[in-house]
Amino acid sequence: MEFSEEVFLNHLAQTTDQPYLISISHAAGIYLYSPEGKRYTDLISGIGVSNIGHRHPKVVQAIKDQVDKHLHVMVYGEFVQATPNLLAQKLASLLPKKLDCCYLVNSGTEANEGALKLAKRFTGRTEIISFRKSYHGSTHGSLSVSGNEIKKRAFRPLLPDVKFITFNKEQDLEYITTKTACVIMETIQGDAGVRVPSTAYMKALRKKCDETGALLILDEIQCGMGRTGKLFAFEHFGIVPDILTTAKAFGGGLPIGAFVASKEMMRCLTHAPMLGHITTFGGNPVCCASALATLTVLEEENLIEQVEAKGKLFESLLKHPSIKEIRRIGLLFAIDFDTAGRVNKIVANAKEAGVICYWFLSHPNSFRIAPPLTITEEEIKESCATILQAIENA
């Protein structure tokens, strides 16, 4: 009864007519287990969340310790609590000086909502520039700045004054002007099928924002937290955003996000109007304990340093004549095939064989691989053998 598909399909709202539909009783490391004891290798980290694996013992312990002290005690921004304090201090110590102040929220889309409001309030401007094919979340503001028109049409009217430019195309930077409040960009476009911009482009974008006074928001909700081989992907390009957004893997498996900026910029949320952005649960102490332990594990286990070698190993093993292209940065992959139908078969075959790969929101001809960064060489070899067989059988 607990794992009833009938209950799942009828009493939990569905988001598609073809849910992945496996039952999970427990999880540990890179593995998920069904109630019947079938083991699945999680090669997608619950979509970019379990970067240090499922139920890392240090994360579980930190959560238990916090639960024994207190849960929610007050809305965001009023009481001084040890764990959110320590998390904010830790995050500031890992980021450039101008990103010294974080506003803690509950999800990725909320982090982007806060970032967009902050940019409008700080600049006094209204225009927002975003990118074609981008994904920033499913609430109205984040959806407004996401680039997939098919996903937006039914929900219009959305935010006005949003313009879209082409990712990694320098000529389009001319659309950024003194009217622009902010440019919002995924440092690495994830759901467009892993698109990596050039360093020259990122530097030109930074320069254009500086010249016009437009704020640069980098959304690292999917590509942050070590996924690309740096704690945050912007570090690859020698630039620093004005506002950074994070979520997903930030919480190590509990829901938490943040938008991060300078203390000076954040101050504008305290007046005109007072309480310019508020949230009841943002900075929930249990989620903060999990996030703090996750950052500590990433450092203590030197996981980020190992990302590139592990990524290269995957890439060297995934050779098959039906693979059209592999796009990769660190341990984030899009694997392209000729048709969406073939991709569906491969994902289904891999699932049957106990390996979880998954689709992208806006790129049907490829599937994603984004395993926990803790995956071992042996596990990479085993997973790749299963994927190659799934491709062969498709």
Ligand X SMILES: Cc1ncc(COP(=O)(O)O)c(C=O)c1O
Which is closer to ligand X, CB of 247 or CB of 254?
Answer: 247
Which is closer to ligand X, CB of 106 or CB of 365?
Answer: 106
CA atoms within 13 A on the CB side of 293: 24
Shortest spacing between CB 389 and ligand X, in angstroms: 29
Q: Does 114 bind ligand X (CB under 6 A)?
A: no
- Residue with tokens 């009938």, as numbered in its chain: 6
CA–CA distance, 264 with 124 (Å, rounded to integer): 15
Footprint on residues 51-110 left by ligand X (CB under 6 A): 107-109
Shortest spacing between CB 257 and ligand X, in angstroms: 6
Strands (E), 145-200: 162-165, 180-186
Q: Which string of x and - marks every residue 185-224 that binds ligand X (by CB under 6 A)?
A: -x---xx---------------------------x-xx--
The arrangement of strands across the sheet holding 39-42 comes to 26-28, 31-33, 39-42, 355-356
Residue nearest to ligand X (CB): 108
Footprint on residues 310-339 left by ligand X (CB under 6 A): none
Cα angle value 372/338/41 (rounded, 5°): 20
Which is closer to ligand X, CB of 54 or CB of 394?
Answer: 54
Q: Total residues contacting ligand X (rule CB under 6 A)?
A: 14
- Tokens linked to 389: 């067989």
CA distances from 389 to 10, 111, 174, 366 (A): 35, 40, 48, 17
Which is closer to ligand X, CB of 53 or CB of 108?
Answer: 108
Shortest spacing between CB 228 and ligand X, in angstroms: 13
Footprint on residues 230-249 left by ligand X (CB under 6 A): 247
SS3 content of the chain, % helix, strand, coil (to 5): 40, 20, 40
Strand partners, 101: 261
Q: Which string of x and - marks every residue 121-140 that binds ligand X (by CB under 6 A)?
A: --------------xxx---
CA–CA distance, 205 with 286 (Å, rounded to integer): 37
Which is closer to ligand X, CB of 184 or CB of 394?
Answer: 184
Query: For residues 162-172, b (16+ Cβ closer than 10 Å) or e, as one string?
Result: bebbebbeeeb
Shortest spacing between CB 65 and ligand X, in angstroms: 25
Which is closer to ligand X, CB of 256 or CB of 289?
Answer: 256
Footprint on residues 135-174 left by ligand X (CB under 6 A): 135-137
Say which DSSP state 195 is in: B
Which is closer to ligand X, CB of 70 or CB of 140?
Answer: 140
Footprint on this chain of ligand X (rule: CB under 6 A): 107-109, 112, 135-137, 186, 190-191, 219, 221-222, 247
